[in-house]
Structure formats: C-alpha cells, structure tokens
Copies of this chain bind each other. A is one copy, B any other.
Amino acid sequence: MISTINIAESFGRFQQRWTPKIVAELNDSYVKLAKLEGEFVWHKHDDEDELFLVVRGSLLIRLRDGDLHVEEGELVVIPRGVEHLPVADEEVQVLLIEPKTTLNTGNVRSERTIEKLEWI
C-alpha cells in the first residue's frame, strides 16, 4: 500500500534531538525527519551527498571555509567529503535525504552516533 506522509504530523510523534526518524524510502535512499537543537559534531560523509530541507526554524551549518544559513523553506546539499557542523540555536526541524548507508555522524563515531535508525 502506498501511503502519504504528513510532515508536520510526523514531527509531532517524536521529541528526541539529533535522532533522525525514517519516514520513507526511495531508490537507495531514506527520507528522514530530525529535530536539531544545540551543536552537533564535525563530520563528513566520504561517499554520500546529504540533503537538508529546513521545515521549521533556522539552521546554521558550519563549514571549514565559512558558514551556511539555511532558513525555513530552504534546502541545501552538502556534497560528499565536505566537513560540516550543524548548529541550531533553537529547535530546528529538518527533512533529510541520504543513502541508506549514511551514518548520522559520518566518519566520526561519538555518543551522538545512532547505529540503528527507527521508522516512524
């Protein structure tokens, strides 16, 4: 069965920060929703480009050569190999699309690493 996903309703179903939830899959990728608040860890994904679409709030993505500000209703693709540090002064809701193989902390393992993502 093919079902539609209401993005706002899905965000209402979890509270954890930095814990992406899978809502859909297509081809070799997952569509994930995540709530971000505070500072993440510097990391990169060696073989995977990563899409951030800001659904609510204002996301700062620090890069080694400058800052990116991604506002509500904006998207950005962080290409493979580019180190980045997401920072959310207040809660930010993002939709992520990335290959199923992507680890949230990329090349780094830390207490923030989520080994097994949940579907919601």
Which residue of B has the minimal Cβ distance to A47?
A: B27
Q: Which applies to chain A's interface (DSSP): helix, strand, loop or mixed?
A: strand
Copies in the complex: 2
The yes or no answer to A4 lying at the interface (CB within 8 A) is yes
Residue A76 lies at the interface, judged by CB distance under 8 Å to chain B: yes
Contact size class for A?
Answer: 35 or more
Taking beta carbons and an 8 Å cutoff, which residues of A are in contact with B?
Answer: 2-8, 23-29, 31, 48-51, 53, 63, 68-71, 73-79, 82, 97-99
Question: B5 near A75 (CB under 8 angstroms)?
Answer: yes
Task: Chain B residues near A8: list those with CB within 8 A.
Answer: 73
In the complex, A108 Cα to B36 Cα: how many Å?
Answer: 42
